[in-house]
Structure 1
Amino acid sequence: MATGCGGSGSGSSPPPPSGGNPLPPQPFARAARIPTRPTYEQQVAVAPAAPFDVGIEIDWHVDAVNGDDAAPGTLEAPFRTLERARSVAAEQDVIGLTRGQTHFRSFVSALPETITQSVVGYGDSVLPATISAGQSLAGHVFTLHADNIYRTSITLPRPHLPGGSGISNSATTYPFVRFGDREFQWVVGQPTIGENLASMASLGGDLFALNVAGSPVADIRDDPNAATQFDLYVRLSDLSDPTGQELVTLSHTNAYVWASELLQDVRLGDAHGKDTTGSDPTRDAIPTLRRIEVFGAGTHAWVGTCNVDGFRARGLPRPGMFGHAEGRAAGGGLHLFSARNRPSQIPDIRGLDIEGFTHALYGHSSASSDTIAQRIEVSETEQEGFTNFRVRNCGSGITLDAKSGRPVVREGIKVSCEVDFVEVETAMITESPASLDGGGVVIFSPLRKNKHNLSTLRTGSADHAYRKVTFFSPRIDVKDFTRDLAIVVGKPTSAPSLLLEDCDLPLHPDYTFKIGTGGEDQGKFHLRLSGSTVIGDSFDALRERYPESFQATGDTAFAFADLRSRSAVRNRLNSRGVGNTVDESTTLLRSDGSAAQRPG
């Protein structure tokens, strides 16, 4: 069964938000519904039975260590490279890559970068097979430059081309170096390579600098003469000679493009382009991703339509791109993009674990399409080592865009599994309906930005619903910092709705969320509170920001500025022309969380 998918919390006090102050006492709050979650290390340490059951017949086998491209490609006599297997495989064949090995993308290949065969990891290693878009430097000889800085020459397969998409082969070249899981810091920004190397000598950690061979320009992003030959300078944290060590430098824009049926038990990364990997957006083929990880993504990790049963993505912020200061890649962890209209497509998404992106789950269309899916469904996974929907340090948990004023996902998104969102600015941003129905926790980011909100509603049809979700926001002492339940973009002709059902929000004024409009240029929304929803100082009495309508039913508990009775709440709303329903079963709270008026 899936890890991290169960358990409601006990009646003990909930943990403080990451990076924030401890939560104050909550006199009226029910037992917080905080899920019991394994650590990331526990999640990825789940070992499959040996040998690993692939569950599918493999036509061609690849062993990057013991294989031979002159062999027949059988289990007993495997090929050495994926490129050799691709050269003989039929379009619908299955290629197996030995688990626990790194399979580097060929530096020079006549084959197209789009793979039509299914690719799976096989063998008895607990680690997946890794497809690297980089090149190994283990065979390079490094010479001492000075100050424990070593130099070697490398060849990148294509020149510097700024802008564009990695999938479309026109991406900005951001060559990074890694040593195992250690990512190197790029020392860049000085006028000459000599000055960069002088800076490198005074810094600690794993470092690299790069320039076009023979060029005095220190930043290849600004060098119009960027070609394929480069001087690479490396300084390891232990000051040792990197010769013979397993360093990897990023060489290709992407780790292939996929037009296959299945991608299973594979890690993909080391791409320097905007899009690390993804499906071919122009084809009908919709790959299934099963137990897949994308690492080191600078913008988008996976781009394209797909079905998912266990997907993990890790962003690697790139200097000069937005999100870098927050420790985030500039795009989406799972970017459901299509260059074709797919009005009847319903992606089946199960098991997401996304960390360090501007958007965790992102939906966007191209200039040639306006519908990427009919709707998106996110549900529970049974894959070992994968949580249902885990998000860490992302600007938003879910973002779905529009094209020409129409939502790219017509019927929106429905999440039926438990969510575990930590350090986000906004839970959901959509143009179409969206709901978190499976409960869980949303903890907002401690970053000192000027706004947190549960939802951003971009159209009148962007109705959002949260059910059995516990929300926390860290205390931030910034004068203009605000927290809004929802922001309505523009002024749509009809007001969208926000439903909080059996949810818990903090009571203390330092953590409170406001409701109503966000300003003169923003619209209003209908607010529906049902069940044991607990909200802090809900209405901003000073600015008189009110929703389009207000409804509090069931055993809802809520605060309303300085008002202390339900009748006073109704009178205030009526005087502002706000339609309302406030049941006698509700509890009115003071700003400190104590009950001002109980049911009855």
Structure 2
Amino acid sequence: MIYVDPSGDDSGPGTVERPFATLQRARDAARPGTVVTLRAGTHRLTDTFLLTAAHSGTVYQAHGYGTPYQEKVVISGGREVTGWTPSGDGTHRADAPGPAPRQLYADGLRVERAALSLDGHTLRRTAGGYTVEGTGPQRWDGDVEFVYRGAYPWSEGRCRVASVSGDAHATTLTMADPAFAQATRLYHSVLTWEGPGAGESYGVDSPTSVENSPAFLTEGTFATAGPVIHYRPRGGEPPAGVAAPVLETLLHARGAHDLTFRGITFADATWLRPSTPQGFLHYHGNGYYDGGALETVTFAEGQGQVTVPGDHASMPGNLIFEDTSRTTLEGCRFVRLGAVALEFRGAGAGNTVRDSEITDIAGGGLVIGDGARDHRVENNHIHHIGLDYRGSPAVLVTGARDTVIAHNEVADVPHAGIVVYEGRGTKVLNNLVHDTMRVLADGGGIYVSGPQGDSHANGALIRGNVVRDTITPYNFGLYTDYGAAYVTVEANAVHRADAPVVLTVWPPLEHVTFLGNVWDADPGDPPGGVVLKDNTTVAGDAFDSDPRAVAITRAAGRRPARHRH
């Protein structure tokens, strides 16, 4: 056994009496089968913690894991912010300990980025940005960023302001390229139905808010101007315990196998791409437009068309397991992370995340990506996801085979809770999914799109889940969308959504069966390709006491953790 303590010494033997100081030293000393025990405290990383095939078979765990004496262990990519200088208005300034941060934390709690709503501001789009009547925006200093919430109902983009100029009558805002030019092309739709939203529109015509100027500061917020952080603490108190994330990747395991992590908190990482002139042109899920070809998708029945990326990039993980197999993360926490918290990338097999918590995440919670096989996500609490990038789902499965998402609680998400893109054999079982779709629209508590197999035997199974309190308008508790095929939706309880399910989408559903579900509204008659059988509609206050709904609810969600040594 090897011991690591933040106050240890890498020149020592790594024993309990004389522990190492760094994870890197312990990694290099470990052999297959070694247990690396981390003592209490914050283990600050100066670089990404890299693990390769040579480091396979190692266990990293908190001292006393699984006992009442388990120590609190944090692996952090952040740095303390010191050297604060006060000003007369309650604002304090300090140099950033790394690149200008997109997130800031005080005593472990998130500090909101200073922002200003653009409701009531009349902006006229030009070829390179906007003009605004009046001189107010000429005071917008700092690393200012426009937010386009609802550029599409499911999207929220971000572009930097390159410069602000003007005269005594008007202000010119020049936006950073290539982001602004690309956003103008991407967020373009022509809707031909009759009613709200019809006609040709450009999402960049209507930015919803502007962030990150010291001019916007209120109590409990921060902004950056170049390398300087401006922070106005609540109550006028001097800043204390303030930290900024610096590393973009805390841990990257590549080609390793049989790794185990137990009882560790992974915290304080960032993602800086949205701060660049490329911006963050979100499209759907964790995907964003990074240039290249754009395509036009035409809806059925003359409803119009939207512009979509021909290809897209994906928000990266702050912890990446790439081509790794039989890795287990158990009893861990993933918190204060600035992109996707946890990403399984490449052709790994048999990885498991269980009995853990993922919370306070700027982007997505967990991704299982193309090539993955036989991964399990079970008995986790995944909540308060997408705090900055609000189209991000709590759990995303894409291009994977035989993934199991079971007995998790997923909550407090600005768009969809669990998202399953095209794949094979995915099972979403006995999860409690609530308070999703809190900000953006056109999504669901559980969202499935694309072909899921070539028969019901190897297709997707969505069974035993409770989906409730799906918040914003135009949502569906269980959303099968965009050509979903070979999907069985069985014995779920769905209530307090705009509608429990959707049956008619484009491209149409094929081989989708809704069997034995309980919901609080009749979904209507199914089109071809959809089968409804033995479902029950229980409206109003009777839903919570309906025997079938009660039975499904009792079997869903987290179970007491059982630590496995």
**What residue in structure 2 maps to residue 240 of structure 1?**
237
SS at match of 1:296: strand
2:83 aligned with 1:80: no
Residue pair 2:337, 2:361 contacting (<8 A) in 1 also: yes
1:82-106 Cα deviation digits (max 9, x unpaired): 233234334764322124x221112
Q: Hey, what's the Cα distance between the residues in 2 that align with 1:440 and 1:413?
A: 11
Query: Would the alpha carbon gap of residues 91 and 232 (structure 1) be closer, same or farther in structure 2, given more than 3 Å must change?
Result: farther
1:390: how far off? 0.5
**What residue in structure 1 maps to residue 214 of structure 2?**
197
Q: Match for 1:240: what amino acid? A: E
Q: Match for 1:441: what amino acid? A: V
1:271: how far off? 1.0
**What residue in structure 1 maps to residue 325 of structure 2?**
285
Q: Hey, what's the Cα distance between the residues in 2 that align with 1:85 and 1:175?
A: 31
Q: Hey, what's the Cα distance between the residues in 2 that align with 1:69 and 1:233?
A: 37
Q: Match for 1:250: what amino acid? A: P
1:515: how far off? 3.0
SS at match of 1:461: strand
2:248 aligned with 1:253: yes
SS at match of 1:253: coil
Q: Match for 1:504: what amino acid? A: V
527, 532, 537: which is aligned to 1:534?
A: 537
Aligned Cα root-mean-square deviation (Å): 3.4
Superposition TM-score, scaled by structure 2 size:
0.59
1:536: how far off? 6.0
Q: Hey, what's the Cα distance between the residues in 1 that align with 2:380 and 2:503?
A: 25
**What residue in structure 2 maps to residue 465 of structure 1?**
489
After TM superposition, the structure 1 = structure 2 runs for residues 319-358 of structure 1, keeping only pairs within 5 Å, are 329=363, 331=364, 333-338=365-370, 341-342=371-372, 345-355=373-383, 356-357=385-386, 358=392
Query: Would the alpha carbon gap of residues 119 and 209 (structure 1) be closer, same or farther in structure 2, given more than 3 Å must change?
Result: same
**What residue in structure 1 maps to residue 441 of structure 2?**
none
After TM superposition, the structure 1 = structure 2 runs for residues 140-219 of structure 1, keeping only pairs within 5 Å, are 140-156=82-98, 174-187=101-114, 191-193=140-142, 196-200=213-217, 203-205=218-220, 207-212=221-226
484, 488, 491: which is aligned to 2:508?
A: 491
355, 377, 389: which is aligned to 1:310?
A: 355
1:251: how far off? 0.3
**What residue in structure 2 maps to residue 548 of structure 1?**
none
**What residue in structure 2 maps to residue 60 of structure 1?**
2
After TM superposition, the structure 1 = structure 2 runs for residues 21-36 of structure 1, keeping only pairs within 5 Å, are none
Query: Would the alpha carbon gap of residues 337 and 556 (structure 1) be closer, same or farther in structure 2, given more than 3 Å must change?
Result: closer
Q: Match for 2:368: what amino acid? A: L
1:426-480 Cα deviation digits (max 9, x unpaired): 423143133343x352103222x3232423144463322221x322115xxxxxx
Residue pair 2:519, 2:537 contacting (<8 A) in 1 also: yes
Q: Hey, what's the Cα distance between the residues in 2 that align with 1:535 and 1:488?
A: 25
SS at match of 2:485: coil
Residue pair 2:270, 2:318 contacting (<8 A) in 1 also: no
Q: Hey, what's the Cα distance between the residues in 2 that align with 1:505 and 1:184?
A: 39
SS at match of 1:85: helix
1:279: how far off? 3.5
Residue pair 1:136, 1:247 contacting (<8 A) in 2 also: yes
Residue pair 1:392, 1:422 contacting (<8 A) in 2 also: yes
SS at match of 2:353: strand
**What residue in structure 1 maps to residue 461 of structure 2?**
435
Q: Runs of 4 or more off by more than 6 Å in structure 1?
A: none
1:2-41 Cα deviation digits (max 9, x unpaired): xxxxxxxxxxxxxxxxxxxxxxxxxxxxxxxxxxxxxxxx
- Unaligned 5+ segments in structure 1 are 1-58, 160-172, 213-229, 318-328, 366-371, 380-387, 403-407, 475-480, 507-511, 518-522, 538-554, 558-600
1:198: how far off? 4.0
Q: Hey, what's the Cα distance between the residues in 1 that align with 2:398 and 2:89?
A: 48
Q: Hey, what's the Cα distance between the residues in 1 that align with 2:236 and 2:32?
A: 48
Superposition TM-score, scaled by structure 1 size:
0.56
